[in-house]
A and B are shown apart, each in its own frame.
Chain A
Amino acid sequence: MTKTVDSYRFLDGITSRMMKHWATLGSPQQIPWSPLAKPISQCTVSMVSSAGIALKSDQPFDEEIERRDPWSSDPSYRVLPRTTATGDVRVYHLHINTSFAQQDLNCVMPLERLCQLEALGEIARSAPSHYSYMGYTVRPDVLLRQTVPAIIGRLRQEQVDAVVLVPV
């Protein structure tokens, strides 16, 4: 039986209505498209997470930006090496329960699972670098003008063939 995902299953009534309204605001535009140039088994794959994940050795995401001004958020990104494990990171996100990701990073950023697929030959390799940013972004200007181009530059440098964007 074919499944149709219910976008609103885990939302309360008010938030559901809000999200349904947001879904009507998407501006029609040309959908970006790059054909996959080779089988996934020959691809270098990277992942980008909106969970606000940072290495403990790296600068934390600044949650105070959002606490001071609820329309703003930290627009920066962090790099997560392919071998990053759960104990290496902290998760900074004010809209979800981050304890699941803190118990097991693979819940939101499956780095270990991607390495497993590499070991099984199902992908060529997990890219050296993966990325995370804070997903609550009402003012996307800096994210779009600075963060995204910076991530794209690094993806190209590492000759990544495919990117999986993982929401939370």
Chain B
Amino acid sequence: MMPDLTQSVGVSRLAAIEHPFGLTLGLPGDAAGQLAVLRATLRALEEISQPGTAVHLPFEWETREKLNVYPPEAPPIARFLRRHPWYLPKFLNRTPPEISEPAAS
């Protein structure tokens, strides 16, 4: 789903798909579509012969349905960073504060 980020951490093999978050294999009820994605992923597993290779799966995300892929409320970290923007560098650099530092509210 985010092959740039996934490859950057050095995964063995990667099958990349351009689907929204929460819909990795496809829409609810689309059994044929889900099966096709899973089948293509396993085919990539079998065909990849070099460590770190990414196969970009050919599936196009096209739906006329307007989907809300966001959670019902903003994630806690998003709300926290809005209230404490000075912590943004720590989040951007993936260096969370020490456990003893106050982080709540």
Chain A: residues with CB nearer than 8 A to chain B? 2-10, 18-26, 28-36, 39-40, 45, 51, 66-71, 93-98, 100-101, 103-104, 106-108, 110, 112-114, 116-117, 122-123, 136, 138-139, 162, 164-168
- Residues 20-79 of B contacting A (Cβ, < 8 Å): 20-29, 31, 34-35, 37-39, 41-43, 45-46, 49, 51-52, 56-61, 68-72, 75-77, 79
Within 8 Å by CB of B57, from A3, A19, A21, A36, lies: A3
| Residues of the A chain whose Cβ atoms lie less than 8 Å from the Cβ of B46 | 36, 39-40
A-B pair number, CB within 8 angstroms = 187
Within 8 Å by CB of A5, from B20, B35, B56, B93, lies: B56
B interface, over-half SS: loop
A110 touches B25 (CB 8 A): yes
| Residues of the B chain whose Cβ atoms lie less than 8 Å from the Cβ of A4 | 56
B31 touches A136 (CB 8 A): no
B21 touches A96 (CB 8 A): yes
A-B interface, 10 closest residue pairs, ranked by CB to CB distance from nearest? A26-B8, A104-B28, A70-B76, A96-B22, A31-B51, A103-B28, A5-B16, A70-B77, A33-B51, A71-B96
